[in-house]
Each structure stands twice: as structure tokens, then as C-alpha cells.
Amino acid sequence: MASYSYERIPYLVVYEDKSAFKDTYAGEIDRISLTCQLLKPENHASSTVVIWSHPIGGGAYLPLMAAMARQGIHVIYCDTRYRGVDSALIMEKTACDLGAVVRDAKERLGYETVILGGWSGGGSMALFYQAEAENPTVTSTPAGDPPDLTKRGFIPADGMMLVAAHHARHITFTEWLDPSVIDESDPENRDVELDLYDSKNPNQPPYSQTYIARYRQAQIDRNRRITEWVKSKLADFKEKGDINREFGFVVHRTMADPKWLDPTIDPNDRKPNWCYLGEPEIVNDSPIGLARFCSLRSWLSQWSYDDARADGVKCAARLSVPTLVVGNTADDAITPEHTLRLYEAVPHAAKDLHWIEKANHYYFGQPDKVVETAALCREWLTSRGFLA
């Protein structure tokens, strides 16, 4: 396979999106500016482009993007309006942003075929968009606010490409949530038997199935307690006539998944006592933890176990287009159960599952794995008739 030089072309997609209030820091209200990069192989025209995105962006310089361009694949990476921060992120609005980029790629850049790529949290976002493009059903956010996705006229992609993708932000977050917190206003008040990092906890790895079942239910219960409080807070504001009022809050201790300490749970080649952000016990209280800083509406849209709509498994079940699912066997963020459930959820036969052996989540320090995955993507695109 030839290795192509490529040009990295930055550009903006700007569109109007009416809102009751300003929910992102930068830019004019009601005008959304999305930063994008087109990685275009030199002297290699193509009518097909693979568009990647993520709810909070930042993936334009991930090694796979460049590796795909070197394989002769035209690649777009687009950031959503929430680039770099998810404290007020609304998943329904990320779908609108992705829709604007897909339309621009088709109508302005002239690509006839669009494949949606989803890495990590970009997977459920891409699946949410495609499900709503094929058969729109969502008429508001979980808080009852715009946008109405059934009126957006999303252009469906022609295929899906999921790499190291998880079920959904709200599912992954709940699996990582520390259920030992008894009182959200006093996170140091904890149930010792549910605190994985307390040496006094009589439950130690390898954990029993009974303990794991109790622990998982306690995680869901904590998520639901926060959701109940969020809904009560919003209802109180609306009752007082403050229909656009928001409230910021902190969620403490959000990296306490037993599988990071017990590698026998959903086993793969990951190392124990480690996750993709570092030592789990440190990350559990770190400001970079998922959902650490939240708004009420954002909680319902991206973190609520029962209310968030961007559920990768449920959305995958609504797909009609060819789909590639790639898992990394040493992934320290996404374990095999996530990969397999996404693959199994796709309801048709035009789907393919591949594993990249010994690869970590981002392929950091693994340039050979990056090349292997890019070559796999090209082979799949060709086999499915998307590339000549």
C-alpha cells in the first residue's frame, strides 16, 4: 500500500442555531462556529470522506487521523460547540453540530459518500446522529428544551466506523461512578463496604459476583438520586417562572469501576490498577474525572442513567448502513463487553468486527497499531464499496 503525503486544511462550519440562552462561552449567541480539519491526501482525489467527532472534540491530532490520510483516505475531524468542556454539554445539540458538518461536506466540499467515524465517546454520538438521521424521534432534550431533531433534516451517513467506542456517556459514567458516597453535599461521608479504595473494606479483589451485583446497583442508585435532585431543582425554577435558570454543581468521586482493580472482570490485556487517565484512585477525585462539573440540563442529557438519549446500543439497533466495529484488546478505557454489545446491537448482516491485539485506547506509544488500524479501515472501506 502506497503511503500518501497529505495536507491538513483547517476550516470553519458556521450556522445559526436559536437558543433560549447562551450555553457556550465563545462566539455570538445563536451563531455556532465549529472548528474542523480536512486531512486531504495529496494528488489523490476521492468522492468519499470519513468524518470523526466527539462531544468535547480534541481528536484532530490523534494518530489514527493522520494514519488514515496516509492510507489515501480523506478525513474530516470536527469539534462540536463544546470543544474542551462538557459542563453544559447537551447531546442533542452535538447531533445538530455533526449534522451541519455532514451537510457541509456533501454540499460545499462535494463529497458524495460520508462515513461517520466514532472513537471512544464519539461512537455513541455518531450512532445517535445516524439513528436520528435515518428515523428521527427526539423532539426535545430530556429537560424539555429545543432542539427538535425531527425538524433538522439530518443527512444520513452511508456507513459507520466505530473504534474503541463505548456504549454511551451515561452508561460508562455510571459504571465508573463511586457508589460509596452517601451524601452529595458531604462526599467524605462514605459507605466503607462500597469504597474500593478503603483498606477497611472487607471486599477485596477478586470480587465475588454477589458483591459486584450489589456494587453495580448502588452505582445506578447514586446516579438516580442525583437525577431526582436535578429534576426537582429544575421543576422548582420553572414553578417560580425562572424557565431558563441554570445551576452548576460538582459530582465527586467518579472513577471507581471494580474492573480497574480486578482484571478478571470483563478481562482483556489491560494492566491492573490502571485506567486510561492514570491511577484510578487518583482519578477518582481528580478534576479531569467525568461529570466533575455539571449543569442541571447537561446532567439529564449526557449523564442521567434513565434519561440520556445518546445510547450507543439502542441507537445501533436502529442502523441500516454498513458498520465496522473495532476493539483494542489492551484498551484501558473500553473493555470488550462494550465493543461486543455495540456489534451485536447492529440489526443487519452488513457489519464487521475486528480486534487490534495488544492495542491501548489511544494507541499511545504504539505506532504499529495505528498503521494496522488505518490499513484495516481502508480494507473495510474498499470491501464495502466505499473506496475504489
Report yes or no: 355 and 330 within 8 Å, Cβ to Cβ.
no
Question: Which residues on adjacent β-strands are paired with residue 117?
Answer: 52, 161
Report yes or no: 131 and 278 within 8 Å, Cβ to Cβ.
no
Give the neighbor-by-neighbor strand order of the sheet with 48-54.
6-16, 31-41, 74-79, 48-54, 113-119, 159-163, 323-328, 351-356
- Orientation of helix 169-176 relative to helix 209-239, angle to 10°: 120
Residue 127: what are its φ and ψ, rounded to 5°? -65, -40
3-state helix, strand, coil in the chain (%, to 5): 35, 20, 45
How do strand 113-119 and strand 159-163 relate by DSSP bridges? Answer: parallel
What is the pLDDT, as a whole number, of residue 1?
60
For 66-87, give one letter per residue: b (16+ CB within 10 A) or e. bbbbbbbbbbbbbbbbbbeebb
51, with CB counted inside 10 A (0-12, 13-18, 19+), is buried
The CA–CA distances, whole Å, from 231 to 172, 292, 379 equal 21, 18, 47
pTM of the entire predicted model: 0.96
What is the pLDDT, as a whole number, of residue 22?
80
C-alpha cell of 183? 451524601
- Which residues, given as ranges, of the chain have pLDDT below 70? 1
Nearest 10 degrees: CA dihedral of 240, 246, 249, 251?
A: 100
Enumerate domains of the chain plus CATH numbers.
6-168+309-383 (3.40.50.1820), 178-303 (no CATH)
Q: Which conformational region is residue 239 in: left (phi greater than 0), alpha (psi within -120 to 50 degrees), or beta?
A: alpha
| Residue of 124, 121, 131 lying closest to 57 (CA atoms) | 121
Residue 235 CB neighbour total at 10 angstroms = 10
